[in-house]
Copies of this chain bind each other. A is one copy, B any other.
């Protein structure tokens, strides 16, 4: 009798659920609905329910789950999610900086490898990279203790007035889109000016000191987060 080991200790799937909950619950740590998890993970809603029940019922649960009321990460779950996120972003940085990957390819590779590297690997690439604080998309890399500064950036889609900004980060979700942004010169750290717009306008911005105006699709704009420039 193999003394039934702790179910759901961790696995690629579990890790991905935890990371998705972390992302979807946002800085305010809202409860996350199964449907949104299902959409994000590309699985059926029933599969989500199943997994959440299992995770929530384990001896030391990784999530706090209540029927019909969504989930939250438990402290242990949050710790694990941040660890995987740290792996993800360190790997991305490593691929970009040391292996010269094109930026739009780092995400997919990191998405797999994040689950399989050892603590030693994590530590070694972090050291090699000089303990970076940001990944190539401009996202913050959680520290080893799970601490991560709150982000105070806004989505370009939420800016309606004219203003001067710096690109904080770009979404890594959609590789082709990311490639297009790169081709247009939009990358973290780039200075960017917005113009006043009404809901019907497209997103018109100019970069650096150039006066050339770029017109961005809503998709593209949605992938860009900005910081104001009053340093």
Contacts and interface: CB of A to CB of B under 8 A. Distances in A.
A67 interface: no
Contacts of A121: 95, 99, 109
Contacts of A116: 112-113, 116
A219 interface: no
A113 B105 CA distance: 18
Contacts of A177: none
B113 A128 contact: no
A101 interface: yes
Interface of A: 95, 98-101, 105, 108-109, 112-113, 116-118, 120-121, 124-125, 128
A117 B113 contact: yes
A116 B118 CA distance: 14
Contact of A124 (B99, B112, B117): B99
Copies in the complex: 2
Contacts of A120: 101, 105, 109
Contacts of A118: 108-109
A175 to B, nearest CB: 13
A100 to B, nearest CB: 7
A100 B113 contact: no
Given A101-B120, A109-B118, A113-B116, 5 more contacts: A99-B125, A100-B124, A101-B124, A109-B120, A112-B116
Contacts of A100: 124
